[in-house]
Amino acid sequence: MILKFHFIEILRFITSFAVIVRHYHFFFLPRYSYSSIQILNDPSVQPFYFFLQVFYLKGDYAVPIFWGISGFIFSLVYLEQRKNISSKEFFINRFSRLYPLHFLTLILVTLAQIINFNFLGSHQIVGNNDLYRFILHLFFVSGFEGESFNLPIWSVSVEILIYFAFFISIILFAKFGVKYAILIYFISLLIDKFLFSSIFVDCFRLFFTGVIVYYINYSIKRKIYLLPISCFFIFISFLGNFKIFLFTPGLLFLFIAFEYFIKSEKKKVLDFFGNLTYSMYLLHIPTMLIIILIFYNFNLPDAIFLNNYFFIFYISLILALSFISFKFFEKPVNKLFRKKFLGN
């Protein structure tokens, strides 16, 4: 039985990279950005547009895909490897992994926005950076109050609620297995169709899609069947309007199949990229804010944002900062919290 899906790690990395590329247009926002270049009517002028078009235009879909990935990974860890985890250990694991970098980037963004406001007369990239929303961010509940501060964290704040719903459900998973996951999925589907639609309901539905994929994968003895199942979901997701709720399981099945059919010890290197995912996701907005400040203070031409070499520099900078953050901040702080509160 496979306990580590290295290709799922690279899928996590791809989703984070997609969000960063999608957000590249923040350098050109007419309302909040220092840049005078308007690219919203012609996004094709952005760097490497021919190769990255799908990320520039559809990068927002990376977030719901990531919710599905989370459901699969949580199932792998807590339904297979650590079935008897205590509530304290579960909470400390989640808190020590997510909150330290969130807090650090929140402070960085807050300081950058204060400086931006003093120098440029307005906040950059996102507005609504008031005390009320700062407190929401501080307590990880910013996902329901619009865009503010470190924008990407909204999706994590929504997902955290699902984490605890999942933990509470572990006993029910042990008793009913995939039947319970399917029940939860269809309840969220009915709520969305007949009661109300919300980000929280979408997250719930996609997270439990990942749980269902986990159960289906381990129920299939001949893994070759994963490929036609993947193709089926991906194909029907493009019939009519694009359906992310069908595309997500298709993508998960595809990358799970890669794990079984690509035999190489070198695929462990993919974990390196997966480890950078959270750092990339949270660090790119404060990095953009600091770049905008530097450009203003040194009176640099904003046209450089359209340059391919600048784009390469920017992505490389995000990757380097993410590596530094993971190795020298996130891992040590995580270990410190676990040692202090769990004794391990």
**Tokens encoding 36:** 């005078």
pLDDT for residue 87:
83
**Total structural domains in the chain?**
1
Alpha-carbon span 111 to 286, nearest angstrom:
9
Does pLDDT of 112 surpass 80? yes
> Which has the minimum average pLDDT: 87-91, 138-142, 198-202, 296-300?
296-300
Let me know if residue 125 belongs to a domain. Answer: yes
Confidence of residue 175 (pLDDT cuts 50, 70, 90): confident
- pTM listed for this prediction: 0.91
Let me know if residue 99 belongs to a domain. Answer: yes
Does pLDDT of 169 surpass 70? yes
Confidence of residue 191 (pLDDT cuts 50, 70, 90): confident
pLDDT for residue 228:
93
What does pLDDT average to over the chain? 86
Q: What is the mean pLDDT of residues 170-176?
A: 81
Identity of the amino acid at 314: Y
Nearest C-alpha neighbor of 159 from the set 216, 201, 109: 201
Higher pLDDT, 200 or 68: 68
Let me know if residue 127 belongs to a domain. Answer: yes
Of 135-144, 161-170, 252-261, 294-303, the range with the highest mean pLDDT is 252-261
pLDDT for residue 154:
87
Q: What is the mean pLDDT of residues 21-43?
A: 67
pLDDT for residue 231:
94
pLDDT for residue 300:
80
Question: Going by C-beta distance under 8 Å and a sequence separation of 6 or more, which residues neighbour residue 25?
Answer: 39, 40, 43, 46, 56
pLDDT for residue 262:
82
- What number of residues does the chain have? 344
Question: Going by C-beta distance under 8 Å and a sequence separation of 6 or more, which residues neighbour residue 159?
Answer: 67, 70, 203, 207
Nearest C-alpha neighbor of 151 from the set 121, 128, 118: 128
pLDDT for residue 149:
85
Confidence of residue 3 (pLDDT cuts 50, 70, 90): low
Confidence of residue 29 (pLDDT cuts 50, 70, 90): low
17 backbone dihedrals φ, ψ, rounded to 5°: -60, -40
Alpha-carbon span 196 to 45, nearest angstrom:
38
pLDDT for residue 82:
63
Nearest C-alpha neighbor of 200 from the set 67, 76, 332: 67
**Tokens encoding 306:** 């359209």
pLDDT for residue 97:
92
Q: What's the distance, Cα to Cα, between the start and end of the chain in Å? A: 26
Confidence of residue 32 (pLDDT cuts 50, 70, 90): very low
Higher pLDDT, 329 or 144: 329
Higher pLDDT, 321 or 200: 321
> Which has the minimum average pLDDT: 11-20, 77-86, 180-189, 322-331?
77-86
For residue 141, the enclosing domain spans 6-342
Q: What is the mean pLDDT of residues 180-192?
A: 84
Tens-place pLDDT, residues 118-135: 877 777 788 788 888 889
Does pLDDT of 31 surpass 50? no
Q: Which long-range contacts (CB under 8 A, 24 or more apart) does 259-264 make?
A: 259/2, 259/5, 259/6, 259/7, 259/8, 260/2, 260/223, 260/226, 261/223, 262/7
Let me know if residue 1 belongs to a domain. Answer: no
Q: What is the mean pLDDT of residues 40-51?
A: 83
Angle made by CA atoms 261, 265, 271, in degrees to the nearest 5: 95
**Tokens encoding 207:** 């997270």
